[in-house]
């Protein structure tokens, strides 16, 4: 659906050169919700503006649905942009227009007849959950309602791709979740391909199928969201995963807990998908002569399934502990044993 090859953007001034996006390549499938995450200055906002040529690339190609946007002239680009919707962090609504007229604006520009515009706008108002608010002005709406108007406006021309530039960053957590639920609903109902940039791993965890991690203009890690949660390779990715899992000392957690609980064996268990429903601790207690203490645990949900970690302490005979560990390793639960002193 979306093919990005060797994409670069260099900003030049008299005194310096800033490479905001650096030789970036990605493939995004039709109907996917693809997340791009990075800290401030990583280049993600420039990247998403390159996708619809709000910024022209220094190098590289962007192809959407077999049409290479980077080679289009201004006239053809205007036509192509009608199939690419975009929503923004700060809504970018027309404050002197009602909800209805804000949503209708891109249809007016496209020359859609008034009767057809009205029908389409009413459909979109219902779709985004704003029934009865068509005559309201942006100043009369909450932040979440304003973003719903922005989403409806982005969908007006029935785009194939929806680009989201930090679409929930200005919203409180509860409103953020409601907007994310709406995006999932739109993705499923319309089969829309969504590219979403954010600095919040919660957003990636909740709705994305695939994720790419940006740092200094480059993609440093990418893959299935659940795989990235399970096996983050880069330090920046580990920090993002820790936002959700609440393990800020990820690299040292086992040793830190072992220093606190000096007896027995400390394990970190990784539960994925169906294994999160296993009554593993009960099984261990029944099968082996051990005392089992649960020290810490958390389970979180991604689009591809659940993922959880749990720290446990096994107290008992060393051979019995070894047998218990071997039993866990025979299941779908992954086990990490504390390092030796």
Q: What is the DSSP string of 276-301?
A: GG--HHHHHHHHSS-EEEEEEEEEEE
Parse the chain into domains and list their residue ranges. 2-236, 250-337
Q: What is the pLDDT along the chain (341 residues), one digit of tens a residue?
A: 899 999 999 998 888 899 999 999 999 999 999 999 999 999 999 999 999 999 999 999 999 998 999 899 888 988 888 899 999 888 899 999 999 999 999 999 989 999 999 999 999 999 999 999 999 999 999 999 999 999 999 999 999 999 999 999 889 989 999 999 999 999 999 999 999 999 998 899 889 999 999 999 999 999 998 888 878 889 999 888 877 766 544 445 555 565 666 677 888 887 776 655 567 888 898 999 999 988 877 777 777 667 778 888 899 999 999 999 999 888 878 888 866 54
* Domain 2-236 part of CATH 3.40.50.10490: no
CATH of domain 250-337: 3.30.70.260
From the number of C-beta atoms within 10 Å of its C-beta (0-12, 13-18, 19+), residue 224 rates as middle
**Core vs surface per residue 291-309: b (16+ CB within 10 A) or e:** ebeeeeeeebebbbebbbb
Q: Which residue has the tokens 């993609």?
A: 219
pTM for this structure? Answer: 0.80
Helix (H, G, I), strand (E, B) or coil at 176: helix
């Amino acid at each position: 659906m979306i093919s990005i090859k060797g994409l670069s953007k260099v900003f030049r001034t008299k005194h310096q050169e800033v490479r905001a996006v650096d030789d970036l390549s990605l493939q995004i499938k039709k109907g996917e919700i693809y997340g791009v995450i990075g800290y401030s200055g990583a280049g993600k906002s420039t990247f998403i503006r390159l996708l619809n040529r709000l910024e022209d690339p220094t190098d590289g190609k962007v192809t959407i649905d077999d049409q290479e946007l980077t080679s289009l002239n201004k006239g053809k680009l205007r036509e192509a942009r009608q199939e690419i919707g975009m929503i923004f962090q700060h809504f970018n609504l027309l404050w002197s227009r009602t909800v209805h007229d804000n949503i209708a604006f891109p249809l007016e520009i496209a020359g859609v007849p008034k009767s057809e515009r009205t029908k389409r706008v009413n459909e979109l108002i219902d779709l985004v959950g704003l029934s009865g608010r068509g005559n309201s002005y942006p100043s009369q709406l909450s932040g979440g309602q304003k973003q719903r108007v922005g989403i409806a406006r982005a969908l007006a021309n029935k785009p194939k791709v929806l680009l989201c530039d930090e679409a929930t960053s200005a919203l409180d957590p509860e409103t953020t979740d409601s907007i994310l639920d709406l995006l999932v609903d739109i993705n499923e109902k319309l089969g829309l391909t969504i590219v979403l940039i954010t600095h919040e791993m919660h957003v990636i965890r909740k709705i994305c199928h695939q994720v790419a991690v940006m740092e200094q203009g480059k993609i440093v890690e990418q893959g299935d969201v659940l795989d990235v949660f399970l096996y983050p390779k880069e330090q920046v990715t580990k920090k993002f995963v820790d936002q959700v899992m609440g393990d800020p000392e990820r690299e040292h957690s086992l040793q830190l807990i072992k220093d606190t609980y000096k007896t027995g064996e400390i394990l970190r268990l990784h539960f994925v998908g169906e294994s999160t429903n296993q009554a593993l601790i009960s099984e261990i207690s029944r099968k082996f002569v051990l005392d089992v203490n649960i020290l810490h645990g958390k389970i979180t949900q991604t689009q591809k399934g659940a993922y959880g970690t749990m720290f446990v302490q096994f107290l008992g005979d060393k051979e019995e502990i070894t047998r218990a560990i071997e039993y866990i390793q025979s299941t779908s639960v992954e086990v990490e044993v504390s390092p030796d002193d």
